[in-house]
Structure formats: C-alpha cells, structure tokens
Amino acid sequence: MPQTVLLVGTRKGCFLLESDGDRREWKLRGPFCEGWPVYHAVHEPMSGTIYAAAASEWHGAGVWRSSDLGETWELSSEGLAYDADGGTKVSKISGLTAAHGRVLAGVESAGVFESRDGGATWSLLSTLEGQPGRSDWNDPAQQPPGHLGLPAMLPHPDDPSRFWAVVQGIGIFETTDNGVSWAPRNRGLRADWPRPHEEIGFCVHKLVMSPVDNDRLFQQNHVGVHRSDDAGLSWTEVTEGLPSEFGFAAAAHPHDRDTYYVIPLDGLHGRTMPDGHASVWRTRDAGATWQRLDRGLPERDAYLGVLREGLAVDTYDVPGVYFGTSTGQVFASADEGESWSEIASYLPAVASVEVAVLG
Amino acid sequence: MADLHLPGTLPPLFAGLPRRLEIDAGTVVEVIDRLDERWPGLRDRLCEPGPALRPHIHVYVDGERAALGTTLEERSRVDVIAAISGG
C-alpha cells in the first residue's frame, strides 16, 4: 500500500501529514525544525530525504534535512552565504528544488546555491550577474515592495544543466549551462506598472511545468494567469473566466498537459479568497475555460490566503490536490479537486505544501 | 575561564551543547571560536559573515553590552541572549 506524505512548511516549523493511498484518513506529526519558520519543504525521491528551507529570527537562515521521514533532523548553512565584503546577505532561504542528484536553494538577496552532498554543504551557483538591471536588484530604492529574492527554480526533468529561476518583481530567467549564462523568459507577459527594461520587471508568483509536456509552462502572475507552449519563449494570458487576476499558487496535473489548478485571491490588500468563498479553480483546456471547485470547502466567511508554494498535486492515477492556508488549515481532495475535506485545522500559518507518494 | 551562559534556542541545534559551560578565551570572538571548534556550525548561528553578531543576538560581558572584540577578565560572566522578537 503506498504512503502519501504531505510536507507542510509553517511559520512555526515543519509538519508532516500522512495517509495511505486512499488519502481519506490523515495523521499529523510535528512540529519539526525547532519551530523555525519554514518557507518551503520538499522531498527528494531518490534518497528519500526531506529538505526544509528555514530562517530563524535569531540564528539566521539554513536548510534542515531529514533522511528518516522526520524522525531526526540536521541543520546546515555551511556555504550558504555571500562574501562579507559584497554587502549582500542571505537573509532567507525562499525555495528549494531537488533534482538530478542535487538540491538547489533560491535565496534572498537573489541568488541560487547548490548542494551536491545531500544538504550538508552548499556553494553559490549564480547571482544572475549581467542580466538587465541586475545592478539595481540589491538597491532598496529600486526594488518592488517587499524583499527581492529568488523564491523558485524549475528544473528540466531531462537536462540537469537547464532550469528556470524566478526573481521576485523581475521575472523568469532560463539557463541551459547550469547557471553560467541566463536569458530572460518574459515575452508576452503583462505588467501594469512602469518598467525600466523591456525584458524584465514582471511579477511572477508561481511557475510550473506539465510533467507530460515539458514545453508547456504555466504561471500565476501578480497580474493574470499565463501559459507558454514553447518552454517560456513566449507567453499567452489565460485569465478570462477566473474571479480575480491575482493569486500566488499554481499546480500542474501530473498526467494531462491541459489541466492546471490556481487559487485566485482578492488582488488588493486583503489577498484572501474573493467574497470569502473558498475555491480552487481548474482548467482542463489549458486555460481556455475555468471551473470552480468548492464542494466541501467553506462557501462563506472564509477569508483564506494561500501562498506561492501552498498548492500541490500528487501523482496517483486519480491525482489528489492539496492546499494550505495562511490561517493554518490544510484541505485535501482525493479526486482531482471535485470534493474536499479539511485535514488539519489549527496549524501555524502555512507557507508551503508539497506531496510525496512513497512505495 | 569565562562563565558562559547560552540561550535555550541553541542546545536543540547541537548535540551535547549545555546551556552553561566554562570557556578559556580572551575575547567574545574567541568564545565563539572555541564553541565552533567543539560544535561545528555554531558560529553561523550567532554571527553573520564579517563576522558580526546577528542582529537579534546580544552578548553581555559582566552585565555590560559587548561586541565581538570585547575582552574578558579571568572570571568574566558572558551571557548570550536571543533578543525578544517575533510572535
């Protein structure tokens, strides 16, 4: 019987929610990582290691790892630092990606670190020097609101040297030579604000790839949902039919290249589900039309927020869909989002949800 | 030997690290060096690159706010405090 494990990163540590292949009954373990804020926790399937990106207000940023499904944990930040004389700091590990035998960490201030020894030590891979406007990225006066970090990397499943990086408020960049050189991949995206450089200045919240068509990328942007059919060379907006153009999270169906999930939020300051009606939205035609999925979710008075890593889809034949909220609930669907149940109610604010299917 | 007192947030991160121990050191930075020798990685939990004390880590020597270069007497008491922050 397979085991289903949700990795939930929260404001106060990492939690695991475990079930079998039916995904009906769930058991919670945690908190782990000494209650440090965990921004993203991922599972590396080859080694079975869990990695959790964290930053303590007192003790700095680091990556926790567990090779026994959370029974024991180790912390390392060895090598996870910029040169002291450069003036920039690693204040936060924002996102992790485990692929091709290594772990990539996207950090704030913007840069990518890698570990090739299972998270014991780290080294700087790239800070995307030479990209348009790069010299302004660490200038507070030139930055968009909030902190400018590099929250996500999207690996190519077949080519270890090729991956995409998202820089907050700047956009997507692709490398095909393991970070030696980069190219902006934002053509066709919309921005409702002035941009000093034509190729950058886009606010990409979450970038995903179809596992069955690696040229098919999908993103939830600050302004709209967008699809690419050429691996990011060009983008087409597919927002029409959604209740809001704003949201953070997005996820791709594991078996169908045309099916994606997003969670639209009120785009003004609230950034919670519109009208207090909790919903996940799904397209089955690559964004041409959208369907509200809300059976089992609260239909009123539910002002839930879901962050960029807060939505996940598993790999079963009938995939499960999961999301965690900034008010500490985790909701699960075992039928592609058709129906939902609340499987955790009182966690700290959830930053990330990832799912692993074991066995 | 300095009489070192550590915050409760540190021992869970390093096997065998006590809250209170005696350290043979002439300055605050030497205290942290000695700790890092016995518990590798501990320096990073107290210091940023530079090194400089992390913003929310405060050190007191004999009751006075100290910096990394502050010198210790033979029997100085050194308190490392995780400053009140967060929620």
Please choose, from the candidates A302, A304, A211, the residue with its C-alpha nearest in 3D space to the C-alpha of residue A253.
A211
Name the phi and psi angles at A302, rounded to 5: -115, 90
Domain membership of residue A326 (yes or no) is no
Average pLDDT over residues B46-56: 92
Let me know how long chain B is: 87
CATH 3.30.420.40 applies to domain B2-82: no
In a domain, A327, yes or no: no
Average pLDDT over residues A65-72: 97
In tens, the pLDDT along A128-138 reads: 999 998 988 87
Q: What is the pLDDT of residue B32?
A: 97
Here the tokens at position A348 are 């700290």
First to last CA, chain A: 7
What's the pLDDT score for residue A196?
Answer: 83
Rounded to whole angstroms, how far apart are CA atoms A306 and A64? 23
Output the average pLDDT for chain B.
94
- The number of distinct structural domains making up chain A is 1
**B9·A58 Cβ contact <8 A:** yes
A57 Cα to chain B: minimum distance (Å)? 7
pLDDT at A214 over 90: yes
Taking the Cβ of residue B8 and every Cβ of chain A, the question of whether any pair is shorter than 8 Å is answered with no
Compute the nearest-CA separation of B56 from chain A (Å). Answer: 5
Please count the other Cβ atoms lying within 10 Å of the Cβ belonging to residue A282.
Answer: 20
Taking contacts as CB-CB distances below 8 angstroms, the residues of chain B near A75 are 13, 41
- What is the side-by-side strand order in the sheet with A350-358? A27-32, A13-20, A3-10, A350-358
Q: Would A165 be classed as within a structural domain?
A: yes
Q: Domain boundaries in chain B?
A: 2-82
What is the rounded CA–CA span in Å between residue A259 and residue B18? Answer: 53
Phi, psi of B50 (to 5 degrees): 150, -60
Would an 8 Å CB–CB cutoff place A247 in contact with chain B?
no
- Over residues A260-279, the mean pLDDT reads 94
The answer for A301, left when phi > 0, alpha when psi is -120 to 50, beta otherwise, is: left
Specify the pLDDT at position A275.
95
> Which two three-digit tokens encode residue A6?
């949700």
Give yes or no for A76 touching B (CB within 8 A): yes
Cis peptide before A31 (omega within 30 of 0): yes
Residue of A nearest to B52 (CA): A84
pLDDT at A54: 96
Phi first, then psi, for residue B64 (nearest 5°) are: -110, 135
**CA of A81: which chain B residue's CA is closest?**
B49
Average pLDDT, integer, range A6-14: 98
Residue A11 lies in a domain: no
Residue B86 has pLDDT above 70, yes or no: no
Interface touch B54/A89, C-beta < 8 Å: no
Contacts of A34 in chain B (CB under 8 A): 9, 12-13
Residue A139: pLDDT band with limits 50, 70, 90: confident
The interface pTM score, or ipTM, of the predicted complex is: 0.86
Note down the domain range covering A79.
43-321+334-341
Of A75, A78, A83, the CB nearest to B13: A75
Chain B closest-CA separation from residue A346 CA (Å): 16
Name the residue facing A76 among B41, B57, B85 (closest C-beta).
Answer: B41
Q: Residue B49: which of A75, A78, A81 has the nearest Cβ? A: A81
Q: How big, in percent rounded to 5, are the helix, strand and coil portions of chain A?
A: 5, 45, 55
The reply to whether A59 touches chain B by the CB within 8 Å rule is yes
Averaged pLDDT, A6-20: 98
For residue A27 the two structure tokens come to: 């058991």
The mean of the pLDDT values for chain A is 95
Give domain status of residue A242, yes or no.
yes
In whole angstroms, give the CA distance from residue A41 to residue A252.
18
In chain B, what are the helix, strand and coil shares in percent, each to the nearest 5?
Answer: 20, 30, 45
Q: What is the pLDDT of residue A135?
A: 84
